[in-house]
Structure 1
Amino acid sequence: MGGKNLGKVRQDFVQVKGRRIFINIVGEGEVIIFLHGGPGSNHKFFLPHVLPLSENFKLVLYDQSGCGKSDHLVNNDYSMEDEVETLEMLRQKLKLDKLNLFGESWGTILALLYATTHPDKVNKLFLTAAIGISSNGYKQFPKELLKRMTILDKIKLFIVDKKMKKGKASMKEMLKVIDPYYVYSCDNLQKKDQTPINSVVNNRIGTDISNNYDLIPKVHALSNIPIIVAQGSDDIIKPTKIKELLLDYIPHARLVEIENSGHWTVVEKSSELNRIATEFFQ
């Protein structure tokens, strides 16, 4: 960050749909809203990696419902639709005409869902570690992950999964097994904040994606929105695959391959990603 002034930091809770949503605002200028992955992670995944962008933009990072410091839903009724509505309410609360969205992993799905629901409220979409335009990509993701795993790690994963179903293991134990497969170099694991995953959110929204996520009939709504997809060369869904799962349906979108990076481009190649994002959003 070169010792530059990164702008003032403001943390707050915003009342949305009768619940408190935690937001973290850094910098001044054109607003970029960050959509974290998981489902069930929180905004800290992006930190400190995207902070250099605050030299030119106002960054709005928030924890989705049930994640991080945001309120949990009493009935655990987490869904894609609810997150789209929450984002729209957040736009209104922040008095923004149009949104610049930076989505990562599940956050790319949320960005696309929002953009097809409210195309007139979106300025630009920056997608990284993208999954696809329908549940096809989401279902392929674990299959591709398993192909990479050693026999020993597959056994460990199977045991942890059985324990989790009995309430005798946590998401943290599962992540310990699979996290090394999300990076190009395991040396980069130490750069990532140990953001906890809310397993209930992960399960509920994950099931919703598997059963109901299909934007193929709605892709026309994206035709006037500039879109860039920055995919790691060694992501679990590689650039050639994301072309089939996403780019082929949105021909005007631009694909950029991030060399020597896995699924966590934000962590492994933050400087390159920030450069591309700066050029794109300016």
Structure 2
Amino acid sequence: MTNQQKDLVNFHTVNCQGLHTNIIGEGEVIVFLHGGPGSEHRFFLPHVLPLSQRFKLVFYDQRGCGKSETLKNTQYSMKDEVEALELLRKELDVEKINLFGESWGSMLALLYATSYPERVNRIFLTAVIGVTAEGFTTFSEELEKRLSEEDKIKLSILEEKYKRGDTTIEEILGVLDRYYVYSEESLKRKKKTTINTTVNDAIGKDIMENYDLTMKLDKISNIPILIAQGSHDILTPNLVKGLLLEHIPHAVLIEVEECGHWTVVEKPIEINKIAIDFFDTSL
């Protein structure tokens, strides 16, 4: 059995307010916020498990995602996700949490921090989107620019088939996945995860209509924020300067070389080192 397999065996799995939660390690709490919207916490595994040598890592599937309970009314929203995270913090019985947010999870981290600034210690963001819906729109536009004409045709056909129920979301993502990485070789290391399209659609609509933190950012001016962005992310470090750093000037940006959007999968050693240096205040 490898060390990574042993780590997975050592998980403490609990159900917190309907949220499927996996906990490993001891020490200061780091809560991981997965992307999507609609994906699941297994995206992070086993890549960040070395952090459990120093910290208590808390992974959970957001509402309706992975193994967490679905909402009967399917009214998924950003506010509900913020409140679910606050419920989780209370269940963990800790005064303050550290946040590790990836992609949509980076937005959720900022949403939570601006809602409950007194409950956040430090914020680590990667594959960031921004502080307004502009980042969400720009991400789609930049991804569209990268698509080959052949893949645009493939996606158009697959999307029509998906509407008829003749294909799966996994087949669509199979075309898109390689655009999220710098090296396609790294896709072999990505764990197969599910995505709830109902959650994705509902929160995506909410983001487009309501995501704007610009008037609330003063609440997090005293919270240390570190961003690790892939050099070849769909939102490049240069774009992130306008979408986020201009609004949160105290945030620190580190460029991860030869890396795309899925930094945790492509460059786990670098990401873990950056995270340890940031979260471990005793160093």
Match of 2:118 in 1: 120
Q: Does 1:239 align with 2:237?
A: yes
Q: How far off its partner does 1:266 sit?
A: 0.3
Output one character per residue of 1:141-186: Cα deviation in whole Å (capped at 9) or x when no partner.
1110011111000111111122222333221111011000000000
Match of 1:251 in 2: 249
The secondary structure found in structure 2 opposite 1:236 is coil
Unaligned runs of 5+ in 1: none
Q: Point out 4+ residue stretches in structure 1 off by more than 3 angstroms.
A: 2-8
Match of 1:9 in 2: 11
Give the counterpart of 1:145 among 130, 138, 143.
143
Give the counterpart of 1:23 among 2, 15, 21.
21
RMSD after superposition? 1.4
Output one character per residue of 1:211-245: Cα deviation in whole Å (capped at 9) or x when no partner.
11000111111100000010000000000001100
Which structure 2 residues correspond to residues 1-282 of structure 1 after superposition, within 5 A?
Answer: 3=3, 8-15=10-17, 20-282=18-280
Asked if structure 2 preserves the Cα contact closer than 8 Å seen for 1:192 and 1:267, the reply is yes
The secondary structure found in structure 1 opposite 2:14 is strand
Normalization by structure 1: what TM-score? 0.96
The secondary structure found in structure 2 opposite 1:89 is helix
Asked if structure 2 preserves the Cα contact closer than 8 Å seen for 1:6 and 1:27, the reply is no
Q: How far off its partner does 1:250 sit?
A: 0.4
The secondary structure found in structure 2 opposite 1:174 is helix
CA distance in 2, matches of 1:62, 1:108: 15
CA distance in 1, matches of 2:123, 2:207: 20
Q: How far off its partner does 1:6 sit?
A: 5.2
Letter in 2 for 1:30: E
Aligned positions, number: 277
The secondary structure found in structure 2 opposite 1:246 is helix
Normalization by structure 2: what TM-score? 0.95
The secondary structure found in structure 2 opposite 1:217 is coil
The secondary structure found in structure 1 opposite 2:216 is helix
CA distance in 2, matches of 1:170, 1:107: 24
The secondary structure found in structure 2 opposite 1:216 is coil
Unaligned runs of 5+ in 2: none
Letter in 1 for 2:46: P
CA distance in 2, matches of 1:195, 1:241: 28
CA distance in 2, matches of 1:168, 1:200: 17
Letter in 2 for 1:270: P
CA distance in 2, matches of 1:70, 1:6: 22
CA distance in 1, matches of 2:7, 2:177: 30
CA distance in 2, matches of 1:6, 1:38: 25
CA distance in 2, matches of 1:132, 1:85: 21
CA distance in 2, matches of 1:59, 1:3: 16
CA distance in 2, matches of 1:219, 1:111: 12
CA distance in 2, matches of 1:61, 1:157: 32
Letter in 2 for 1:63: D
CA distance in 1, matches of 2:116, 2:165: 39
